[in-house]
Structure 1
Amino acid sequence: MLKTSVASISTYMGIGILNVSQMIIVKQTGITTDIAAFGLGLTWINACSYAIIMALNDGIRNFSSHISGSKDHKTLGIIYNQSIAISWFVFLVSLALILNSFQLLTFFGIAPDIAAKSYEFTLYGIPSLIGSIYFESSRQFLFSQKIFHVHMKAQLFAALLHPIWCYFFILHQDMGLKGAGIARSVTFLLSYVFVWIIMKIGGYGKQAIQPFKFKEAFSLSQWWHIVQVAVPAGGTNYLKWVSIECLTVLVGNLPNKNCLAGHAAFFSINIFFSMFAKGIQTTVNSFIGNAIGEAKEQLAKNLTTIAISATFLLCLILMLFGLATQSFFVQLLTTTSAMETQFLIAFHMYLCVDVWGNFLQQVQAGILSGMNRQNDTVKYYMWTFLLLQFVVAYFCGFYLQWGLAGVWLGRVAAGIVNSICFQILLQHVDIKQEIINVQLRIKQTKQLNELNVSNVIEGNESQQDENNTSSQQIQLQQLNNNEGSEQKTAKHAQIAKK
């Protein structure tokens, strides 16, 4: 499991590389407002659409992992098609928020000049969301089958090309944040193109891929069956992601603009660091999900112990690495001494304090979701990351006037409380009962798919009967017409003889 974690970590690290390289090139403009606006625009497009698509597919992967463990390839392929359809629906709905981002950001108290530039980035980044629909859907499809290297290769290759597009559009064409949005769109679309090529050449997931049927993919009854599992499981990831995005909006309301610039600069590498935990979470979720689907209780317990131990070791390594390289990141991502001060506040709050609680609770959430306890995880996330975090952040950051450090204390508190609650939950999970529950749900899913297929067949047969009946009526009418014309011809012949 730890070996395959490298591939999933590398896949998610590609997202961090994209953001860091883009922030570095935006920094070359030398405009603090652009740096702040880019961080805010990235926050907005992630929170309103990309993070939802990603989180939903994470939840669907949890559902698919159980089915993959039961070796039901046909159902797995149908769910893959339905994940694409659901992602398209989310994208179309989220356009309302993206196209009105300027008005909404100013409503939340963001300065109009920063909000306007953020709007430019999100507007030109819309095509990137189309790429994410297919990239994330195919990712959950392959990850659920424990195939991790396909998306790793595609993501890293696209990430290596990303600085070229950023330099060309942002600096060479002098398009500013419009160019940043275009560069993001090009990279995200290419990422899926690379995935599609690798899947075709290698034949990965071939045994489970099903023809895309519109009625089957957009079956609302089947959507509801999937969403019941996917929303709670993916909701934990989305709430964690969107909470840091909302935290950025809160930082944007601090009187010192350097707070937002420093926070946004750190946020680009925060994603880089956090993707290590995300990679372990994804891997352990897929492995435990397959173990539950295969009814292997002891394997699920062993994987849990390994994952939590590996997370503690990872936190220690990342903290030491971050402290050793902080001067490098300061030179790379900051422009002024005031911005550097705020950057270091966020940097130290994250790597020395926040990383322990947040990394651990993220991996614990993946374990619990794999064990079919996703409903419990999302409940705790709502209390900690949507309530506790913002109460503490507002109190310390604004009331006590501790600034950026006070806002980050809210996140630290939420992560620690969540990890303690999740550990208590893990001690009380009845794995045998969850295996029974998962097997029952797989059976229901298969029956629902078979029912949908039989309904389609019956509909086709009835349509064919109607077509046959109508064709018979047409033939009868033609015969009647022919008989009538023959009778008329005979009468004319008799008249002519007379």
Structure 2
Amino acid sequence: MSKQFNYTTSERRSSVVYSTSIGKGGLYTPADYIPTDEEENVFRELQDEEISEYPDGEENERDLEDNPLLDTHNSHDSSHLRATSEDYTTDANYGSVRPNGLVRSNSYNKGLLDEQRDLLIDNKLLDKSRRQPRGQLLLDEIYGTTEQTVSTSEEEVVNVWEDAVDNGKPIKSSYQREAQVLAFNALPLIFTFVLQNSLSLASIFSVSHLGTKELGGVTLGSMTANITGLAAIQGLCTCLDTLCSQAYGARNYHLVGVLIQRCAVITIIAFLPIMYIWWFWSESILATMIPERELCHLAARYLKVTSFGVPGFILFECGKRFLQCQGIFHASTIVLFVCAPLNAFMNYLFVWDKHFGIGYLGAPLSVAINYWLMAFGLLAYTLFTKNDNNPLKCWNGIVKGNQVFKNWKKMFNLALPGIIMVEAEFLGFEILTIFASHISTEALGAQSIVATIASLAYQVPFSISVSTSTRVANLVGASLIESCILSCKVSLLLSFVCSSFNMFIIFTFRSKIASLFSNESAVVELVVSTLPLLACMQIFDAFNASTAGCLRGQGRQKIGGYINLFAFYCIGIPMSNYLTFHCNLGISGLWLGISCALIAMSICQSYAVFHGDWGHIIQAAKIRNAEGR
């Protein structure tokens, strides 16, 4: 059994991936992806290039002197800084890279130590008076103080834990303990993800009362914007998840700023031809797939207005990763707490207000403005935060033009897997939208409403999934196999309880829910007839999310990714097409096909979770943790 929870960190649960997508197929996000050897090599090449930019080591030396976690008693001698990337290796405690040979102080993740303390108390190996209030952990994370030097009581926790390991004393969890931890960690995420989801919900809700065609237009426009623009942007920016985190861990703070600016410039330039297509060709391209020409016209107008806000979205995505690589995970959450209510207000103001309202185009205008507000919100946080990490240390001003236009190919090679992973899910739901458009305009409007309700209901089990992945990963790092299995079981139980509640709400209030979104009787009737199927789907949707979280915690997300892609594209979409057009089931056929995919995902992922080789899982975690030590 390992001496510490050193597989992952609890801050991961606070990371927010913003998206306006109303679809979700359970596919794995790039943030769950473990860097491959190829990605490590890309970083080493960039690291070598950056070191060559400063042959005297001045930049790195200044950064090292400012870092309290490193022993810099020899910092006056810069000769030890003239190194290649071979002198930097992975440090699992920091999730990044540290210089070999440099001495770190005894700094541990406070959240993981609190989890150790609770387990020791439950197993009567530590006195109850040592228990740390769990609310304090959340406050510490919000104010960026999760990494702290071990105090006397924390040293005692480490010593007792190591003594239990050395003497073979069993450390087991309980159903009550796992339920408490998973629920506590998931609770703040539920609020965050609901706010995140409300950004797209506001547009659908405000436009749906204008008419069926307007609802279909905003649905088609937003989905097209996602698949052709926003998804690719998110995927392209995922290269920063690896590169910036490793550069920051290597204490090469200047490189973090260079990478952020380089990625932002690349992404904006890559979007320019897409923006041109949105403006001049989108209507004719959509007309080749969508029979209703008026819907294509409305969708094209949506894309034109939204395009003005996309550069702000790009800056937000890059800025979010600029802060997250420095361990500042709550900045995007704080921004969403401000921007989500503003977005709802702007939708009302620009769509319905008698003095400022402009009707249908008010929805994309709200989206465009909101993108820029989110970018400026992160900028304001970066400039004025009092966080101990001081994010501005990674900003050394606007870089030279020759640096911005270097190594584009390397960044694209690293970002390509992320683009494919993000695009896969968006493309799947774009296909379902196209299917619905071939039924009728009313069916397309009803499909957008049902998808919005499904996405909103998914936020609770998804929050449990994120909490589960962190908890299971920590237990895997501590080699507590029995506790891992118990945590996976509790996650399924919690998901069942939450999905049962969702099922009851959707089924019982289906008529009232449908009438909230539309005044068109034909659309309301279609939504009401489909919601019972959506209610039954909640059980499998939650099981899919829970088992996916377990697989991520085990470090086996590739298996989950293969299962998801197979179930979604080989079962879900073909079944939706067959049931909708050959069995004449309408939009109910679309969701019945997706339900079949979710059932397959749940069964296959559950088997993979509980029938995996735990010895291999533990060993793989130890190997990852041992790299660079």
Q: Unaligned 5+ residue runs, structure 1?
A: 447-498
- Whether 2:366 is the aligned partner of 1:183: answer yes
Deviations 1:190-246 (A, max 9, x none): 1233334345424275379633767489645763785487567xx2x6533432232
Contact 2:436/2:587 (CA < 8 Å) preserved in 1? yes
Q: 1:264 aligns with which of 448, 466, 481?
A: 448
- Whether 2:190 is the aligned partner of 1:13: answer no
Contact 1:142/1:205 (CA < 8 Å) preserved in 2? no
More helix by percentage = 1
- Whether 2:484 is the aligned partner of 1:298: answer no
- Whether 2:392 is the aligned partner of 1:211: answer no
CA 111–371 in structure 1, closer or farther in 2 if over 3 Å, else same: same
Q: For the residues of structure 2 that align with 1:435 and 1:65, how far apart are their CA atoms? A: 23
Deviations 1:290-347 (A, max 9, x none): 777xx43438926544443332222122222323433332221122221111112332
Larger Rg: 1
Deviations 1:143-193 (A, max 9, x none): 678865433332132111113222332234453332211111112221233
- Whether 2:253 is the aligned partner of 1:253: answer no
Q: TM-score, normalised by structure 1?
A: 0.74
Q: For the residues of structure 1 that align with 2:217 and 2:409, how far apart are their CA atoms? A: 41
Q: For the residues of structure 2 that align with 1:296 and 1:364, how far apart are their CA atoms? A: 20
Name whichever of 141-150 and 238-247 sits farther off.
Answer: 141-150
- Whether 2:224 is the aligned partner of 1:44: answer yes
Give, as a single letter, the amino acid of the residue that structure 2 aligns with 1:249: I
- Whether 2:560 is the aligned partner of 1:373: answer no
Q: For the residues of structure 1 that align with 2:369 and 2:461, how far apart are their CA atoms? A: 27
Map 1:105-254; keep pairs closer than 5 Å. Answer: 105-139=286-320, 149-172=330-353, 173-199=356-382, 200-203=384-387, 206=390, 210-211=394-395, 215=403, 219-220=407-408, 223=411, 226-227=414-415, 230=418, 235=421, 238-254=423-439
Contact 2:468/2:549 (CA < 8 Å) preserved in 1? yes
Contact 1:65/1:286 (CA < 8 Å) preserved in 2? no
TM-superposed deviation, 1:423:
1.9
In the other structure, the counterpart of 2:534 is 350
SS of residue paired to 1:315: helix
Q: For the residues of structure 2 that align with 1:311 and 1:79, how far apart are their CA atoms? A: 39
TM-superposed deviation, 1:118:
0.7
Give, as a single letter, the amino acid of the residue that structure 1 aligns with 2:220: L
Contact 2:461/2:546 (CA < 8 Å) preserved in 1? yes
Q: For the residues of structure 2 that align with 1:278 and 1:28, how far apart are their CA atoms? A: 29
Contact 1:84/1:133 (CA < 8 Å) preserved in 2? no
Contact 1:144/1:286 (CA < 8 Å) preserved in 2? no
Number of corresponding residues: 432
Q: Unaligned 5+ residue runs, structure 2?
A: 1-181
TM-superposed deviation, 1:3:
2.5
Q: For the residues of structure 1 that align with 2:548 and 2:410, how far apart are their CA atoms? A: 25
Give, as a single letter, the amino acid of the residue that structure 2 aligns with 1:36: G
Q: For the residues of structure 2 that align with 1:285 and 1:242, how far apart are their CA atoms? A: 26
Q: TM-score, normalised by structure 2?
A: 0.60
Contact 1:4/1:148 (CA < 8 Å) preserved in 2? no
Q: For the residues of structure 2 that align with 1:140 and 1:326, how far apart are their CA atoms? A: 39
Contact 1:8/1:148 (CA < 8 Å) preserved in 2? no
In the other structure, the counterpart of 2:577 is 394
TM-superposed deviation, 1:250:
1.0
Q: For the residues of structure 2 that align with 1:285 and 1:66, how far apart are their CA atoms? A: 20
Q: For the residues of structure 1 that align with 2:474 and 2:419, how far apart are their CA atoms? A: 19
Q: For the residues of structure 2 that align with 1:321 and 1:251, how far apart are their CA atoms? A: 25
Q: For the residues of structure 1 that align with 2:323 and 2:527, how far apart are their CA atoms? A: 37
Q: Kindly report the root-mean-square deviation, in angstroms, between the aligned alpha carbons of the 2 structures.
A: 3.8
CA 78–158 in structure 1, closer or farther in 2 if over 3 Å, else same: same
TM-superposed deviation, 1:120:
0.9
Contact 1:39/1:267 (CA < 8 Å) preserved in 2? no
CA 201–156 in structure 1, closer or farther in 2 if over 3 Å, else same: same
Q: For the residues of structure 1 that align with 2:547 and 2:245, how far apart are their CA atoms? A: 18
